[in-house]
């Protein structure tokens, strides 16, 4: 049974200009211990999906259609009380801007202990602290820095602390939202490696959200490429990265330098994503698409299988 199933998910934001459909008809599923990378430009809806998985949409956002099933429980309709028990216990999150995700006026140890004790009310302070020490060892943080304040940590240490916090309750699923964006390349690499290792060690399912397809390809088993609220290509990481079919994925791949891949010229993607308020009749990428045809503007594109487990939302592939 799949750890996570997302079916036909649609999420809208209520704005002054009307309903903004940030996510539209997204389907994917995740097996335990596997990792899925969601890639796309900013504003494509990948973070929104991450938030929806935690039940943390902002006040003006709501799930308009579809459902999210985690471990057999439909969390998209769960009441707030139940949802709170699910959070961190089963789904943890590594935040986008790790620098600001730690409360500046509270000690690191206290922040992690808080996460533990919220869900394990019977655990006393000593036990919780012991657990935090274990987590520190796990992520390679020195124990003497246990009671520091966030501002005393370097960026990489903060990120490790966040990861430690995410692992605190042995969650089944971790959502990592741009976990390494603000770090320098070396630290980034280290942390990614460790993350990968931890994942296999504890058999955690990971949803890895990033704008950098090369990193995702490196870390994850599977990749889903998102564009303008829709999943446009999905499949095993290597398939999607080295054999990308969707013009957007191709553009995405060629816009990042890869350390391992062949030397090619970086190609920026011209144009901007469409406005997501109101309905869009045809393919959402057609304005920027090199293969654009007249029919693209009129009809919704269909999913096509292009390889084993490799699907693409484009009529021309």
Partner 1 sequence: MRKRGKLVARHYKFACFTCKVAAAALLAVFLLGLAPASQAASNGMLKVGVLQDPKSLNLWLATDAWSSRVLGMIYQPLFVREPKDSKLVPWLAAGEPVYDPGKMTYTLKLRAAKWSDGTDFTAEDVVFTGNMIKEFRIPRQSSKWSFIDKIVAVDKHTVRFELKRPKAIFLTRTLVTPIVQKKQWAKLVAEARKSGKPLSALLRESADHPVGTGPFMLEQWKKGVFVYMKANPYFFGKGQTIEGYKMGPYIKGIIFKVFGTADAAVLALRKGSIDFYWNSIQPGYLKQLQDDPEVKLFVSKKSGLYYLGFNLRKAPFDDMALRQAVATIIDKDFIVKRILGGYGEVLYSVIPPGNTFYYNPDVPKYGHGMSNDQRVKKAYEILKAAGYTWEVPPVNAQGQVQKAKVIRLPDGDPMKEFTILTPPADYDPHRAMSGQLIQEWLRAIGMPAVSRPMAFGALIQKVKGQHDFDCFILGYGKLSLDPGYMRSFFHSRMNKTNGWNMSGYESAAYDAMATESNNAMDPKLRREMIMELQNMVMTAVPYVPLYNPTIIEGVRVDRFTGWVQMLNGIGNIWSFCDIKPK
Partner 2 sequence: MRKYVLKRLAQVMVILFCILTILFVLFRLAPGDPVTRMVDPEMTPEESQHLIEQLGLDQPIWKQYLIYLKNCSTGEFGYSIHYGEPVAKVIWEKLPNTILLFTTAVLLSAMVGISWGKIAAWRKGKATDLGMTIAALVTHTLFLPWLALLLVWIFAYQLDWFPITGMVSDEVWLDPDAGFFTKAADVLYHMVLPLTTLFLIHFGSYLLVMRSSMLDTLKEDYILLARAKGLTERDIRNKHAAPNAWLPVVTSVGLSLAFSINGGALTETVFSWPGIGRELVFAVSQNDYPLAQASFMLISTVVLLSNVVVDVLYAYLDPRIRY
Partner 3 sequence: MENKTVQILKAKRRALWRQRFMENWRVFMRNPLGRIGMSLLVMFGLMAVCSYIPPMIDPMYHPMTGVDPKVVSSVGPSWQHWLGTDFMGRDIFSQLLAGARVAFLVGVSAAFMSVVLGTAVGMTAGYMGRFTDTALMRLADMIMVLPTLLVVLMLAALFGQLSIWMIVLMIALFRWPGVSRIIRAQTLSLKQRPFIDAARVSGASHLRIIFRHIMPNVLPLAFLYMTFRVTSAIVIEAGLAFLGFGDPGTVSWGMMLQWVWKTGYMFQAPYWLLPPGICISLITLSFYMLGRAMDEVLDPRLRDETQAG
The binding site for partner 1 (CB under 8 A) comprises 59, 79-81
CA–CA dist 285, 272 (Å, integer)? 9
In the block, residue with structure tokens 């020195």: 142
Compute the least distance from the CB of residue 115 to partner 2, in Å.
4
CB of 98 to partner 2, least distance (A): 8
Q: Which is nearer to partner 1, 80 or 144 (CB)?
A: 80
The residues, any chain, with a CB within 8 Å of residue 30's CB and separated by 6 or more, are 2, 3, 4, 5, 36, 173, 205, 207
Minimum distance of partner 2 from residue 80's CB (angstroms):
9
Q: How far is the CB of 132 from partner 2 (least distance, A)?
A: 14
- The sign one gets for the Cα dihedral 84, 103, 195, 115 is negative
Distance CA(8)–CA(285), nearest Å, equals 20
- 15 near partner 3, rule: CB under 8 A: yes
Residue 147 interacting with partner 2 (CB under 8 A)? no
Residue 308 to residues 113, 128, 234, Cα–Cα distance (Å): 44, 45, 11
Q: CA angle, corner 236, sides to 89 and 66, nearest 5?
A: 55
DSSP string, 231-266: EEEEEEHHHHHHS--SHHHHHHHHTS--SSS-----
Nearer to partner 2, 169 or 240 (CB): 169
144 touches, from partner 1, partner 2, partner 3, none (C-beta below 5 to 8 Å by class): none
60 binds partner 3 (CB under 8 A): yes
Residue 16 contacts partner 2 per CB under 8 A: no
Give the CA angle between residues 102, 178, 168 to the nearest 5°. 50
Partner from partner 3, partner 2, partner 1, none binding residue 100, C-beta < 5-8 Å depending on class: partner 2
Q: Does 16 bind partner 3 (CB under 8 A)?
A: yes
Work out whether 145 is an interface residue with partner 2 (CB under 8 A): no
312 binds, among partner 2, partner 1, partner 3, none (CB under 5 to 8 A by kind): none
Q: Which of 89, 181, 255, 277 binds partner 2 (CB under 8 A)?
A: 89
Of 11 and 314, which CB lies nearer to partner 1 in the complex structure?
11
Q: Residue 97 has what DSSP assignment?
A: -
Are the CB atoms for 291 and 316 separated by under 8 Å? yes
Distance of CA 180 to the CA centre of its chain: 12
Considering the complex, what minimum distance in angstroms separates the CB of residue 250 from partner 1?
41
Q: How many alpha carbons lie under 13 Å from residue 3 in its C-beta half-sphere?
A: 19
What is the SS3 assignment for 152?
helix
Q: Which of residues 152-181 bind partner 2 (CB under 8 A)?
A: 165
Note whether 106 binds partner 2 by CB under 8 A.
Answer: yes
Return the number of other C-beta atoms located less than 10 Å from residue 297's C-beta: 13
CB of 42 to partner 2, least distance (A): 16
Nearer to partner 3, 35 or 48 (CB): 48
Kindly determine how many residues on this chain lie close enough to bind partner 2 according to the rule CB under 8 A. 27
Q: How many residues does the chain have?
A: 317
Binding mask 198-237 for partner 3 (x = CB under 8 A): ----------------------------------------
Distance between CA atoms of residues 308 and 290, nearest Å: 26
Chain contacts with partner 2 (rule: CB under 8 A): 54, 56, 84-89, 92-93, 95-97, 100-106, 114-115, 118-119, 149, 151, 165
Q: Which residues bind partner 3 (CB under 8 A)?
A: 15-16, 60
């Amino acid at each position: 049974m799949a750890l996570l199933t997302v079916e036909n998910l649609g999420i809208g934001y209520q704005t002054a200009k009307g309903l903004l459909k940030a996510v539209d008809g997204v389907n994917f599923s995740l097996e335990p211990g596997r990792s899925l990378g969601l890639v796309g430009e900013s504003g494509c809806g990948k973070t929104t999906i991450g938030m929806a998985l935690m039940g943390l949409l902002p006040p003006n956002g709501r799930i308009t259609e579809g459902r999210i099933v985690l471990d057999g429980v439909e969390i998209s309709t769960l009441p707030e009380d139940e949802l709170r028990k699910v959070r961190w216990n089963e789904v943890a999150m590594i935040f986008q801007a790790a620098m600001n995700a730690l409360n500046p006026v509270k000690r690191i140890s206290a922040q992690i202990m808080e996460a533990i004790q919220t869900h394990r009310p019977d655990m006393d302070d000593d036990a919780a602290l012991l657990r935090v020490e274990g987590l520190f060892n796990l992520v390679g943080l020195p124990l003497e820095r246990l009671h520091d304040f966030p501002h005393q940590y370097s960026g990489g240490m903060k990120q490790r602390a966040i990861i430690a916090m995410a692992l605190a309750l042995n969650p089944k699923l971790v959502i990592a939202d741009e976990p390494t964006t603000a770090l320098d390349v070396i630290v980034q690499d280290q942390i990614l490696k460790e993350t990968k290792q931890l994942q296999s060690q504890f058999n955690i399912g990971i949803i890895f959200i990033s704008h950098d397809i090369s990193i995702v390809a490196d870390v994850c088993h599977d990749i889903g490429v998102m564009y303008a609220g829709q999943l446009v290509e999905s499949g095993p990481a290597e398939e999607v990265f080295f054999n990308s079919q969707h013009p957007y994925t191709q553009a995405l791949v060629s816009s990042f330098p890869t350390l391992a891949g062949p030397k090619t010229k970086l190609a920026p993607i011209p144009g901007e994503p469409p406005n997501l308020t109101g309905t869009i009749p045809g393919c959402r990428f057609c304005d920027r698409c090199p293969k654009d045809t007249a029919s693209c503007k009129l009809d919704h594109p269909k999913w096509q299988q292009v390889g084993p487990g490799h699907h693409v939302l484009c009529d021309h592939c």
